[in-house]
Structure 1
Amino acid sequence: MGNICFSSSKVSGSNSNTPSTTNTATVNGHRNRRSSAKPVSATTNTSRKQEGSHYNRQKGKDNGGVKQQTKNVKHNTRRQSGVIPCGKRTDFGYDKDFDKKFTIGKLLGHGQFGYTYVATDKSNGNRVAVKRIEKKKMVVPIAVEDVKREVKILKALAGHENVVDFYNAFEDDNYVYIVMELCEGGELLDRILAKKDSRYTEKDAAIVVGQMLKVAAQCHLHGLVHRDMKPENFLFKSPKEDSPLKATDFGLSDFIRPGKKFQDIVGSAYYVAPEVLKRKSGPESDVWSIGVITFILLCGRRPFWDKTEDGIFKEVLRNKPDFRRKPWPTISNSAKDFVKKLLVKDPRARLTAAQALSHPWVREGGDASEIPLDISVLSNMRQFVKYSRLKQFALRVTS
């Protein structure tokens, strides 16, 4: 798979960082805010935030949305008919010479308002990923703000070894183009499942988790919260064995002011933190999500699961992960200690990303075991990935 992964969607939303005076609608998974002055917007920050439910992710082979949410988008668009979209009236201040510098190639993935392509740099022949967002779909000002924020975030994180490289942003009369590094090493879980059964160890998992924590720590250092940490949002730079893992999607990321909390519910159901569901979240929610990912990497199953999203949320709020079920008895005490310290329901008692990087299980030269994990781990993981993709396909078919 040679694409940048634009994944998942908001659960629901209200204005971030500020007291919520009105309830807010989620329109195809985007950051929609309602006030007396502005209608709910169907906005276009990324090629995948329009795609519906918590389980959706934007890749070349899948997209989709919940029927009702799609209807909402159409309704809002009709309501804006006759009005020049805000995006069409906005000069973003980006370079205007995209067509002179790049040639667009094959489509990698698409959402309702944006498309992601492979493109070629005319000056050196290098391949890049380009997210092209339609200005006419940016109906109201918040849509424009979302695009500007994503570019700002990519610039702020530029140069980090585990963040997709941002090259430049361009615009013309019809589109905004975000030009980024093309990651061709595949998704995290696919890469693990490609390993031979005898080769996947705790050490392999710890190396991956350490790279995720570095991304979270860097975000938090810049006053950012990622807000959608999950395996689908991490790709390997290349197929090489020692390829770095790259965070590729910052469409739900946001800056947070000191002493404030986010009051909107964002992210993906499996990975959402308890405080997000309580509408009082901050940087700690990223660490919870990484704890969920680590649990999956070590046993192949989700720590919190139910057949419905509401059921998953109840599990997250009320229950604790089960460390008695196979293969946990064969997993090291250090690994279990690490996961337990990340999956603490009280965010104040949870390890920070920086603290987690110092845990003996994950730190470089630490005590993560190099003994192959039980064969059931990859079997469980294979079922998890299969189920998730069937769910995404179902959402696409019914939208």
Structure 2
Amino acid sequence: MGACFSSASAAPAGAAERRPSKEDKKRRRGGASPEGATKAAAAAAAPVRVEFGYERDFEARYEVGRLLGHGQFGYTFAATDRQSGDRVAVKRIDKAKMTRPVAVEDVKREVKILKALKGHENIVHFYNAFEDDSYVYIVMELCEGGELLDRILAKKNSRYSEKDAAVVVRQMLKVAAECHLRGLVHRDMKPENFLFKSNKEDSPLKATDFGLSDFIKPGKKFHDIVGSAYYVAPEVLKRRSGPESDVWSIGVITYILLCGRRPFWDKTEDGIFKEVLRNKPDFRKRPWSSISPGAKDFVKRLLVKNPRARLTAAQALSHPWVREGGEASEIPVDISVLSNMRQFVKYSRFKQFALRALASTLNEEELADLKDQFDAIDIDKSGSISIEEMRHALAKDLPWRLKGPRVLEIIQAIDSNTDGLVDFKEFVAATLHIHQMAELDNERWGIRCQAAFSKFDLDGDGYITPEELRMHTGLKGSIEPLLEEADIDKDGRISLSEFRKLLRTASMSNVPSPRGPPNPQAL
């Protein structure tokens, strides 16, 4: 169902063989130059002395059975635990093909990722990794229900009902949200990489094949192009991608589930890429006229070309179309919400006040996803977030957890009424997804900015003066430092245009000072 232009170390159980691209072969096999080819050939001929430090009693522990699938570097088999009789899947990777350090690192990284994700209900369970002189063996849960792709093709007109599609999509989004919280991007979400545990109609879905997955530091981007052509996000093709690319891929899968067609199609990979970069999905042809507005809205919000305006995985789980039949407790903490709270600490006082004013213009429906996030952090359901609850939430953000976050500083910045707790209104101001609000509906964004601006512009003359700012904030002393960031033309007052720019841009605290650039990990 999808052309593939990158590869993993071995195919998952039941998956089709994966075709590596020229770029991928060059990256993993040593380059296309004569010198590189000579070195690669020499390395292939030499005895392989790759040691991973894994256990070495695989054959004593497991009896290998039938072949399930194969890929560039190895095969996947069914196997049986000799002691318990349990059946498992084993990915066997040939050490002789690991002619470059990058191939070794790929295997180590995949094992590390599977260990990190162990226990998630929608991710194939990892049991152990073994090795001998010739192979590495990755022992995983055996999923015998086949690929999601096969079930799509088996459906009438290759379509799912909306109810059944929402169940499938919810499980994929939970995988993406869990990965992103751990600073991990799957990078190859497609129907072939989701397996059903059993042949039952209500079988749970399991994500597999993390061979292209990788960890990414906060604020950084991937610059390589990997994935599968039909599911690749625009920013991947532009070589500046992050966790948002997984959400795009899930959007493509959802489109296929609902209508039985791909949203972007061409006879060639280059043609597919042009479609992804330039065109929008078609919602006019059948069966879209019979599909609910909620489902269409959901898909459109995932297939937004600007990654900063796209829903996050956790936000998508809060969408009404996905939430139908679900529980609020199922919504995981959104890593972008935790990031926004950290960023709020670094904003100028005026921008913090401006964001609080903007937050007050949103209605209950518009705040539904943030209410889910607040409830996920408010463990005791007291209606406010304590220091300990905030500490517990921020600890989930694994890329930052080891940086020693100053939780009290974050609480104090968000806590506008200084009661030592964060209520929902305060939480909203610190966690708004500004780029989504500004990009998705420019007209509504303008109305919101005007409403927020009017809370400061008490006389309605179109400007916020120092005296009006003092009256709104209740601050004593000089107001000039608060005005400085937003007063672009330096006329001593803030216009609506300047106010809007303030909301959309980073604060002055992020501008490098003479003492050097700020440390984004200082929190």
TM category, shorter = 0.7 to 0.9
1:123 and 1:156, CA in 2 relative to 1: closer, same or farther beyond 3 A? same
Name the counterpart of 2:337.
none
Is the 8 Å Cα contact of residues 86 and 141 (structure 1) preserved in structure 2?
Answer: no
Residue 159 (structure 1) aligned to one of 110, 116, 119? 119
- SS of 1:169 mapped into structure 2: strand
Name the counterpart of 2:50.
90
- SS of 1:176 mapped into structure 2: strand
- SS of 1:361 mapped into structure 2: helix
Alignment of 1:261-340 (within 5 A): 261-340=221-300
Residue 216 (structure 1) aligned to one of 157, 162, 176? 176
Equivalent AA in structure 2 for residue 226 of structure 1: H
1:246 is aligned to 2:206: yes
RMSD: 2.8
Moved more, 165-174 or 101-110: 101-110
Q: Quick one: distance in 2 between partners of 1:151 and 1:87?
A: 24
Moved more, 256-265 or 135-144: 135-144
Residue 121 (structure 1) aligned to one of 78, 81, 90? 81
Q: Quick one: distance in 2 between partners of 1:343 and 1:69?
A: 26
Q: Quick one: distance in 2 between partners of 1:8 and 1:156?
A: 29
- SS of 1:317 mapped into structure 2: helix
- SS of 2:90 mapped into structure 1: strand
What is the total number of aligned residue pairs between the two structures?
320
**Mind listing any 5+ residue stretches in structure 2 that lack a counterpart?**
327-523
Equivalent AA in structure 2 for residue 237 of structure 1: K
Q: Quick one: distance in 1 between partners of 2:10 and 2:294?
A: 40
1:119 and 1:87, CA in 2 relative to 1: closer, same or farther beyond 3 A? farther
1:121 and 1:85, CA in 2 relative to 1: closer, same or farther beyond 3 A? farther
Residue 133 (structure 1) aligned to one of 89, 93, 98? 93
Alignment of 1:91-240 (within 5 A): 91-195=51-155, 200-240=160-200
Name the counterpart of 2:10.
47
1:104 and 1:279, CA in 2 relative to 1: closer, same or farther beyond 3 A? same
Q: Quick one: distance in 1 between partners of 2:126 and 2:207?
A: 12
What displacement does 1:90 show? 3.0
What displacement does 1:189 show? 3.2
Equivalent AA in structure 1 for residue 203 of structure 2: S
1:196 and 1:320, CA in 2 relative to 1: closer, same or farther beyond 3 A? closer
Higher gyration radius (CA): 2
Q: Quick one: distance in 1 between partners of 2:118 and 2:3?
A: 23
Is the 8 Å Cα contact of residues 116 and 129 (structure 1) preserved in structure 2?
Answer: yes
- SS of 2:322 mapped into structure 1: coil
Q: Quick one: distance in 2 between partners of 1:108 and 1:85?
A: 29
1:86 and 1:349, CA in 2 relative to 1: closer, same or farther beyond 3 A? farther
- SS of 1:79 mapped into structure 2: helix
What displacement does 1:307 show? 1.2
Q: Quick one: distance in 1 between partners of 2:37 and 2:82?
A: 37
What displacement does 1:187 show? 1.5
Name the counterpart of 2:512.
none
- SS of 1:184 mapped into structure 2: coil
1:263 and 1:61, CA in 2 relative to 1: closer, same or farther beyond 3 A? closer
TM superposition score normalised by structure 2: 0.57
Alignment of 1:351-362 (within 5 A): 351-362=311-322
Q: Over residues 305-345 of structure 1, what are the superposed CA-to-partner deviations in whole Å (9 max), with x where a residue is unaligned?
A: 11111111111111111111111111100000000000000
Is the 8 Å Cα contact of residues 273 and 285 (structure 1) preserved in structure 2?
Answer: yes
Is the 8 Å Cα contact of residues 60 and 107 (structure 1) preserved in structure 2?
Answer: no
TM superposition score normalised by structure 1: 0.74
- SS of 1:89 mapped into structure 2: coil
Is the 8 Å Cα contact of residues 228 and 253 (structure 1) preserved in structure 2?
Answer: yes
Q: Quick one: distance in 2 between partners of 1:199 and 1:286?
A: 22
What displacement does 1:221 show? 0.7
What displacement does 1:8 show? 7.3
1:317 and 1:66, CA in 2 relative to 1: closer, same or farther beyond 3 A? closer
Is the 8 Å Cα contact of residues 159 and 256 (structure 2) preserved in structure 1?
Answer: no
- SS of 1:106 mapped into structure 2: strand
- SS of 2:48 mapped into structure 1: helix
Name the counterpart of 2:470.
none
Runs (4 or more) in structure 1 with deviation over 4 Å come to: 57-78, 84-87, 195-200
What displacement does 1:67 show? 9.1
Equivalent AA in structure 1 for residue 184 of structure 2: L
1:68 and 1:188, CA in 2 relative to 1: closer, same or farther beyond 3 A? closer
What displacement does 1:100 show? 0.8
Equivalent AA in structure 2 for residue 246 of structure 1: K
Equivalent AA in structure 2 for residue 150 of structure 1: E
Is the 8 Å Cα contact of residues 159 and 257 (structure 2) preserved in structure 1?
Answer: no
Is the 8 Å Cα contact of residues 159 and 259 (structure 2) preserved in structure 1?
Answer: no
Which of structures 1 and 2 has the larger relative contact order (alpha carbons within 8 angstroms, sep 6+)?
1
Is the 8 Å Cα contact of residues 47 and 58 (structure 1) preserved in structure 2?
Answer: no
Moved more, 118-127 or 103-112: 103-112
Aligned identity (percent) is 73
**Mind listing any 5+ residue stretches in structure 1 that lack a counterpart?**
1-6, 12-28, 31-44, 49-56, 367-399
Write 1 or 2 for the structure with the bigger share of helix: 2
Q: Quick one: distance in 2 between partners of 1:65 and 1:198?
A: 27
Is the 8 Å Cα contact of residues 29 and 99 (structure 2) preserved in structure 1?
Answer: no
Q: Over residues 24-73 of structure 1, what are the superposed CA-to-partner deviations in whole Å (9 max), with x where a residue is unaligned?
A: xxxxx34xxxxxxxxxxxxxx6124xxxxxxxx98577565679988996
Is the 8 Å Cα contact of residues 75 and 92 (structure 2) preserved in structure 1?
Answer: yes
